[in-house]
Amino acid sequence: MSMFSDRLQKNHHRLKPWADRQQTQAFRLYDWDIPEYPCSVDLYKDELVVADRGRAGSERDALHFQEVLFILKEQFPGAPVHVKKRRIQTRTEKYQRLGQDENWKIIQEGPAKFLVNLQDYLDTGLFLDHRPLRHWIRKEAAGKRVLNLFCYTGAISVAAAQGGGSVTSVDLSERYLEWGRENFRLNKLEPGNHRFVGADVVSELSGPTREKYDLIILDPPTFSNSKKMERDLDVQRDHARLISACVRRVHRGGHLYFSTNKSDFRLDKDLLGRFKIADVSKASVPPDFHRSKTHRCYRVSELTA
């Protein structure tokens, strides 16, 4: 039995009972646990999504990835396997449509259901590593005005609405906003009772503060250069400005969650003197994600006297 085969079996034996207790049908089975096998494997109910993270031109990585595919078919006979090629990408490339298979699937996550597409896009429509954050938002949202920026397909917005919040979801892509509306309908939430706004988040935050919220979620892409944007976005360069603009839009006593997937992200130290910031990254990474730098997550609010 290969190292990968052994690890996959152990992970499945450990994680499947946990996922069942959480009523979670989608979780990560393998998170690049072994350096020689650079990939991730996600289970979506009865289908597998495999991300190839091997080095371009590496014969060893290519051979190991073929071994991964063989073992998956051996351990999960009959399960469809969807292969994704991972590399550094702009947000425009990352969210471009890759196919027209219309492979839609409904996934249960606790009290919520989400529509995912396992084949047509690089990402499926549901960020599995944000499962704890969705849980937090659901618990905190009751009676609050919630703003979800770079909302993607609105999974966090669904959690906020289920928790009793009034939710505004903002994204540049109308396609993903409509996906978000479908997620609301799937959970018997009326999209018309909430707001879905197609806009450039960076430009919106640069403008005057017209409305305030009790809870804001800011989860920008690492980099974006969409033609629809007035200027490109680099999360390392721009995060201090974005966070500051968000805090100005938070009611006294409210707070912001800022998250980024940039692996070498460094928080601007000047922010520590201006705002109350708690690094909640460790608590925000779920048990099925082993790599310590899956994402960084911070809880930000105004300093109080």
Give me the DSSP letters along 55-84. PTT-HHHHHHHHHHHHHHHHHSTT--EEEE
> Model's pTM, two decimal places?
0.93
- Read off the pLDDT of each residue in 256-268 and give the average, rounded to a whole number: 97
Rounded to an integer, what distance in angstroms lies between the CA atom of residue 147 and that of residue 160?
Answer: 9
pLDDT at 89: 43
Domain 3-87 belongs to what topology?
Transcription Regulator spoIIAA (3.30.750)
Note whether 3-87 and 104-302 share their fold: no
The tokens describing 247, both together, are 């805090």
The tokens describing 103, both together, are 């492979």
* Nearest Cα residue to 246 out of 221, 273, 225, 271: 271
Write down how long the chain is.
Answer: 305
Domain ranges in the chain are 3-87, 104-302
Rounded to an integer, what distance in angstroms lies between the CA atom of residue 22 and that of residue 20?
Answer: 5
- Read off the pLDDT of each residue in 146-167 and give the average, rounded to a whole number: 99
Q: Tens digits of per-residue pLDDT, 226-237? A: 777 778 899 999
pLDDT at 93: 45
Q: Contact 39/52 with Cβ under 8 angstroms? A: yes
Q: Contact 72/38 with Cβ under 8 angstroms? A: no
pLDDT at 99: 52
Element (H, E) at 174: helix 174-186
Return the CATH architecture of domain 104-302.
Answer: 3-Layer(aba) Sandwich (3.40)
